[in-house]
């Protein structure tokens, strides 16, 4: 497909592009191929290392030698029909002028399926030594996962590969919502990038990310975009982002320069942008709260008129859900809740909020106030609307669904970055205002005391949040996660702090059993495990799996085995009976896996997510997940008598499929825990990903990674199936948990 798919270069290495030796537009060589031609061409292309956690600097160009990062700050955005198109933006030095995108379905080795698109470039408004490139890919197929790269085809300069999935038009999907990644220093930008990475790992079925604004701290300082988009580049290459402009990027085209958005004709973009897009059965409206007019604080009259027309059109087109993304929202609970542009006569609460209810907006996500809160339905007169409430139990926790709410529900997801605020205690708010909220707690960072540099705020950088939101037909389910840097011995694993939902029905349920199905919220590993796990055998040296011959250079091939549809984290699924995963970072994954039928708990109802996954358990998980035909072969391992009856057919099938094998001494060791390296290698084999024997890794503990595992881990990292454990480490020899196994299987099945 994209032969010898290139990666973005880092500041520490250089590479030379050899053109004219491959098919047109596919001129990047791997290091070994370039070496074969070196005698004739004297041009060497060293493999370009993945851009992760490295500072982005401008490259210099000398005789086709490009040093440092030639392509940076890549974003994929909605532009036009989300089923058939995407927009792309990236930055390069001024010397790189071509604007090309190549796209192909994941899993194809047919170069004829590579689609090529051209765009335009211009000098950056706020970075005089860089060009901004923008392009739109159209004519894509709905419901297809694509891989892409951006660059300059004429010069053979290409980015690292990215992926995105087009909307399948179905009424069931999941997305992530977060806000305020702004950072004063690079280490804070790295923290925000870590939040995004953890969000995507925690919610592996998320199809896009919504950002509620204040992406950086000072939008006209390009260095800050370099920090945030640079540290986030690995995550951004795995998703589509739908951002709104915050007041910290409200000048000199700082926002629109970084995102290719389908804005209304002739709309102003100097302070931000407003636009809309459809996804599934929902219509999303993104507002720009950085405009001003005599009638509306933070909004122009033109934007308000567009909002009215846009929502009316969406409803007439049959959109079931209308969701608004606004940075300076009307209903928050911290400092900005009493700002003049919010509570003044022409403020957002008095002018825009009533309009939300009048237009029938279902759900509003906000930023700006750096605290977590959510409201009851709020009517156009500013009072709480009435609605029936369904209470359901999910993972032992109660979740409330508001049925056919009379008014709009507002959410602020706190912050994905460092800055946090205390709850607003000013008399201007009082009980009447806070009675509009279902949840309005003090900031969870407050327990760590005031910030040393500003005692009016809690200490920075301790608590971050994000929200997983699933729409399934007429039901919306939100699961809010928190990351506390003081927990888990510094691992800061996301955990659930809140769940709520909305149900839209044409007929309200009666007072008997709810007509709304229950809602699980995360996937899990499978296996008919006995009431006690298979005892672990002694753990000798790890086996050295055979490294398969690298397959064609397709970035992320699909497995050939039949792959069942992975259920979304939503309420249309029966409630799995697993008792010990509530609040666990992998709760959603475990529940989806249980609902998919390839995971079950122990006899006592536990799943034991943090327990090590044994080789026997993982064989059952992977075989069931891939729905592999059962093998009739008998086991011939020296320790076959130690294999539980329940595991025999799964192990036989996994061995026949080439996913697992025995040790040199003839044993299988069914009760031995799998390491993270072994787990990753098996997932790569199951997905039939291409492996590069010459691959290199940039993890801080790369020296600890067994040589046989390097190419597998590199392939998994490139495909977005595996990542580090924090601190830039991979921890290859750490025992893999049952939760990790399930999460990786689900990521593979996506």
Domain with residue 109: its CATH number is 2.60.40.380
- What are the φ and ψ backbone dihedral angles of 463, each rounded to 5 degrees? -135, 130
Residues 629-652, mean pLDDT to the nearest whole number: 88
Maximum average pLDDT range among 170-174, 326-330, 387-391, 534-538? 326-330
Question: Of 45-59, 353-367, 569-583, which range is least confident?
Answer: 45-59
Question: Of 197-206, 256-265, 423-432, 583-592, which range is least confident?
Answer: 583-592
Q: Is residue 396 part of a domain?
A: yes
267 and 326 together in one domain:
yes
Q: Is residue 635 part of a domain?
A: yes
Flag whether pLDDT at 102 surpasses 50: yes
| Average pLDDT along the chain | 82
* Pairing state between β 409-413 and 372-375: antiparallel
Q: Is residue 547 part of a domain?
A: no
Last residue of a domain, one of 123, 148, 165: 165
Give the strand order in the sheet containing 437-439.
Answer: 275-279, 282-286, 321-328, 363-367, 409-413, 372-375, 437-439
pLDDT band at 286 (very low <50, low <70, confident <90, very high): very high
Last residue of a domain, one of 165, 199, 219: 165
How many CB atoms are located within 10 Å of the residue 426 CB?
10
pLDDT digits (tens, 9 = 90+) for 526-537: 333 333 232 333
Dihedral angle, C-alpha 416, 420, 422, 423, nearest 10 °: -30
Q: Is residue 564 part of a domain?
A: no
- What are the φ and ψ backbone dihedral angles of 710, each rounded to 5 degrees? -60, -50
Q: Is residue 66 part of a domain?
A: yes
344 and 210 together in one domain:
yes
What string of DSSP letters covers 23-71? STT-----HHHHHHHHHHH----PPPPP--S------EEETTEEES-SS
What pLDDT is stored for residue 603 in this prediction? 66
What pLDDT is stored for residue 520 in this prediction? 31
- What are the φ and ψ backbone dihedral angles of 72, each rounded to 5 degrees? -145, 170
389 and 272 together in one domain:
yes
Residues 680-685, mean pLDDT to the nearest whole number: 92
HEC-encoded secondary structure of 118-166: ECEEEECCCCCCEEEEEEEECCCCCCCEEEEEEEECCCCEECCCEEEEC
257 and 128 together in one domain:
no
188 and 128 together in one domain:
no
127 and 196 together in one domain:
no
Q: Contact, 572 vs 656, CB < 8 A?
A: no
What pLDDT is stored for residue 487 in this prediction? 92
pLDDT band at 280 (very low <50, low <70, confident <90, very high): very high
pLDDT digits (tens, 9 = 90+) for 336-358: 999 999 999 999 999 999 999 99
What pLDDT is stored for residue 29 in this prediction? 27
Q: Contact, 56 vs 230, CB < 8 A?
A: yes
184 and 131 together in one domain:
no
- The first and second tokens of residue 563, run together, are 């792959």
Measured CA to CA, the distance from residue 53 to residue 230 in angstroms comes to 7
Measured CA to CA, the distance from residue 99 to residue 105 in angstroms comes to 21
Measured CA to CA, the distance from residue 423 to residue 446 in angstroms comes to 9
What pLDDT is stored for residue 598 in this prediction? 86
Q: Is residue 634 part of a domain?
A: yes
- The first and second tokens of residue 223, run together, are 């260095």
Flag whether pLDDT at 239 surpasses 70: yes
Flag whether pLDDT at 183 surpasses 50: yes
Question: Of 245-254, 276-285, 692-701, which range is least confident?
Answer: 692-701
What pLDDT is stored for residue 47 in this prediction? 29
pLDDT digits (tens, 9 = 90+) for 9-33: 332 222 222 222 222 233 232 223 3
Question: Of 24-38, 240-254, 341-355, 603-617, which range is least confident?
Answer: 24-38
149 and 194 together in one domain:
no
Q: Contact, 691 vs 714, CB < 8 A?
A: yes
Flag whether pLDDT at 62 surpasses 80: no
264 and 364 together in one domain:
yes
Flag whether pLDDT at 677 surpasses 60: yes
Question: Of 64-73, 325-334, 577-586, 679-688, which range is least confident?
Answer: 64-73
Q: Is residue 85 part of a domain?
A: yes
Residues 134-155, mean pLDDT to the nearest whole number: 96
Of 490 and 376, the structure prediction assigns the larger pLDDT to 376
Q: Is residue 529 part of a domain?
A: no
405 and 369 together in one domain:
yes
Question: Of 72-76, 396-400, 432-436, 650-654, which range is least confident?
Answer: 396-400
pLDDT band at 506 (very low <50, low <70, confident <90, very high): low
205 and 79 together in one domain:
no
Domain that includes residue 613, residue range: 587-749
Last residue of a domain, one of 448, 476, 503: 503
pLDDT band at 715 (very low <50, low <70, confident <90, very high): very high
- Residue 221: CATH number of its domain: 3.60.21.10
What pLDDT is stored for residue 307 in this prediction? 98
Helix, coil or strand: residue 86: strand
DSSP type of residue 500: E
Residues 415-436, mean pLDDT to the nearest whole number: 96
pLDDT band at 393 (very low <50, low <70, confident <90, very high): low
pLDDT band at 586 (very low <50, low <70, confident <90, very high): confident
pLDDT band at 746 (very low <50, low <70, confident <90, very high): confident
187 and 124 together in one domain:
no
- Could you give the number of structural domains in the chain? 3
């Amino acid at each position: 497909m994209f032969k010898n798919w290139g990666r973005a270069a880092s500041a520490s290495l250089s590479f030379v592009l050899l053109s004219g030796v491959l098919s047109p537009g596919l001129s990047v060589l791997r290091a070994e191929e370039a070496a074969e031609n070196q005698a004739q061409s004297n041009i060497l292309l060293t493999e370009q290392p993945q851009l992760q956690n490295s500072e982005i600097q401008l490259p210099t160009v000398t005789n086709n030698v490009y040093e440092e990062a030639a392509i940076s700050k890549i974003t994929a955005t909605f532009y036009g029909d989300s089923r058939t198109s995407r927009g792309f933006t990236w930055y390069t030095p001024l010397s790189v002028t071509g604007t090309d995108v190549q796209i192909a379905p994941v899993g194809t080795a047919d170069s004829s399926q590579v689609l090529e698109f051209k765009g335009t470039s211009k000098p950056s408004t706020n970075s005089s030594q860089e060009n901004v490139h923008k392009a739109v890919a159209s004519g894509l197929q709905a419901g297809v996962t694509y891989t892409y790269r951006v660059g300059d085809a004429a010069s053979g300069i290409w980015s690292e590969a990215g992926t995105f999935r087009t909307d399948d038009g179905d009424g069931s999907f999941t997305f992530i919502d977060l806000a305020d990644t702004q950072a004063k220093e690079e280490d804070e930008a790295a923290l925000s990038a870590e939040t995004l990475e953890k969000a995507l790992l925690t919610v592996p079925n998320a199809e896009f990310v919504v950002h509620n604004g204040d992406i950086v701290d000072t939008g006209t300082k390009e260095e800050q975009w370099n920090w945030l988009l640079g540290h986030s580049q690995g995550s951004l290459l795995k998703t589509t982002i739908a951002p709104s402009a915050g007041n910290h990027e409200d000048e000199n085209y700082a926002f629109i320069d970084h995102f290719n958005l389908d804005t209304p004709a002739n709309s102003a973009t100097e302070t931000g942008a407003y636009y809309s897009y459809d996804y599934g059965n929902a219509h999303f409206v993104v507002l720009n709260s950085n405009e001003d007019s005599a009638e509306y604080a933070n909004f122009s009259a033109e934007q308000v008129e567009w909002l009215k027309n846009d929502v009316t059109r969406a409803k007439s087109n049959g959109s079931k859900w209308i969701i608004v993304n606004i940075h300076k929202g009307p209903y928050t609970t911290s400092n900005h809740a009493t700002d003049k542009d919010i509570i003044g006569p022409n403020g957002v609460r008095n002018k825009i909020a009533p309009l939300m209810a009048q237009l029938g907006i279902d759900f509003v996500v906000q930023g700006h106030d750096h605290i977590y809160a959510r409201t009851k339905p709020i009517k156009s007169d500013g009072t709480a609307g009435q609605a029936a409430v369904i209470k359901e139990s999910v993972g032992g926790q109660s979740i409330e669904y508001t049925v056919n709410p009379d008014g709009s529900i507002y959410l602020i997801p706190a912050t994905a970055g460092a800055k946090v605020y205390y709850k607003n205690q000013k008399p201007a708010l009082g009980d009447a205002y806070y009675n509009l909220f279902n949840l309005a707690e003090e900031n969870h960072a407050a327990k760590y005391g005031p910030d040393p540099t500003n005692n009016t705020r809690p200490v920075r950088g301790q608590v971050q949040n994000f929200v997983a939101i699933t729409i399934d037909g007429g039901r919306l389910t939100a699961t809010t996660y928190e990351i506390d840097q003081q927990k888990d011995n510094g691992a800061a694993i996301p955990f659930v702090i809140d769940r709520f939902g909305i149900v839209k029905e044409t007929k309200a349920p009666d007072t008997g059993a709810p007509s709304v199905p229950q809602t699980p919220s995360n996937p899990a590993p499978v296996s008919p495990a006995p009431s006690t796990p298979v005892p672990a055998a002694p753990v000798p040296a790890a086996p050295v799996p055979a490294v398969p011959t690298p397959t064609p250079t397709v970035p992320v091939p699909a497995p050939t085995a039949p792959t069942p549809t992975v259920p979304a984290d939503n309420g249309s699924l029966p409630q799995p009976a697993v008792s010990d995963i509530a609040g666990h970072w992998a709760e959603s994954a475990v529940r989806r896996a249980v609902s998919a039928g390839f995971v079950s708990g122990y006899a006592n109802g536990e799943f034991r997510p943090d327990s090590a996954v044994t080789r026997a358990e993982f064989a059952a998980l992977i075989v069931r997940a891939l729905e592999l035909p059962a093998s009739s072969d008998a086991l011939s391992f020296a320790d076959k008598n130690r294999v539980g009856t329940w595991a025999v057919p799964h192990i036989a099938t996994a061995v026949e499929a080439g996913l697992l094998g025995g040790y040199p001494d003839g044993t299988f060791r069914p009760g031995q825990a799998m390491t993270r390296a072994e787990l990753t290698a098996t997932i790569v084999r199951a997905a039939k990903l291409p492996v590069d024997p010459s691959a290199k890794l940039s993890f801080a503990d790369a020296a600890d990674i067994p040589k046989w595992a390097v190419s597998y881990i590199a392939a998994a990292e490139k495909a977005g199936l595996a990542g580090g454990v924090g601190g830039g480490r991979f921890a290859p020899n750490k025992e893999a948990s049952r939760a990790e196994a399930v999460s990786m299987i689900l990521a593979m099945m996506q």
